[in-house]
Every structure is written in structure tokens, then in C-alpha cells.
Copies of this chain bind each other. A is one copy, B any other.
């Protein structure tokens, strides 16, 4: 038993030491708390490039898949088509990407990155990678591999239920 952290003027109102042990037992809760931290760092990093999480992901997908369809981007990222349109509009306005109509099916737009788009994306990817390394601190390589594997497994296991 300890009286260590009791200040002289401590009002014994509320709870002395707040416990979140039940919540901390949930993988979901811990994952959310961790993601919140990652997201805060990420948004700050991306703000230097005038990108948000979604537009960044979209841009990376375009670089990795030159000439990809909008529907393919939306599928890969699991985002709804209307939200993708908004993201693409923003990237197109900044001349980071171009929409090109497919001749053989005029409903389809193929998306390509411009040179400026590729350059910006490369810088942004490097910045994000750098920040992730910082945030991972001294996490050893094997733990990191396990982390990613288990996360992936959960994603697949859970996703297959819906």
C-alpha cells in the first residue's frame, strides 16, 4: 500500500487512480489508440504536401498502377466511388494526375500521374517512411514482422465474415 502520489491538497473527489485495464485488454481498443497516434503524426507529415490520408493513398496507388481505373482504386482502397471522385478532383486540379478517357469504353477513365505528381508522391512517401521509422523507435525487425502479419491475418479473418 502506498501514499506516494497523494498531494497535500488532494481532494478525494473522483477516483484516485483511473484504470482502463478492461479496455486495454481489447485488441480493438489498443489498435484504435495506436492508430490515433499514427494518424496524428501522418496528418502532420502530409500537411507539408497538402495531402490528406485518402488523397495520399490514392496518389500512391496511381503511381504504383499507372493507367488504373477509378473503380480499381476505389476497390483497392475500400472507399466509395463518390469520395474517390472528390479526391481525384483535388489531385487533378493541382496537376498531379490526369484523367484519360479509354477509347474502347468511353465510360471509363484511366488515371495517370504527372511528373509533378510522381515527384510529390516520392517526397511524401519518403517523409512518411521516415516518420514511421521514428515512431517505431527501437522495435526489432522480428516484432515488426509479427505485427504486420497478425494485423493482416485479423484483416482477412474479419473481412471474410462480411
Query: Interface on A for B, CB 8 Å cutoff?
Result: 11, 13-15, 18-23, 25-42, 53, 57, 60-61, 63-69, 71-72, 75-78, 102, 104-105, 108, 110, 125, 128-129, 132, 134-137, 139, 143-144, 146-155, 157-159, 161-162
Contacts and interface: CB of A to CB of B under 8 A. Distances in A.
Contacts of A33: 78, 151, 155
A105 B11 contact: yes
Q: In the assembly, how many copies of this chain are there?
A: 2
Given A31-B35, A57-B23, A135 B150 contact: no
30 contacts: A14-B69, A14-B71, A14-B72, A15-B68, A15-B72, A18-B76, A19-B64, A22-B63, A22-B64, A22-B125, A23-B64, A25-B129, A26-B128, A27-B38, A27-B132, A27-B148, A30-B155, A32-B39, A34-B151, A34-B155, A35-B35, A38-B154, A41-B158, A41-B161, A135-B157, A139-B153, A139-B154, A143-B149, A143-B150, A146-B147
B125 A154 contact: no
Contact of A76 (B20, B136, B152): B20
Contacts of A78: 33, 36
Contacts of A25: 129
Given A13-B105, A15-B72, A75-B18, A31 B38 contact: yes
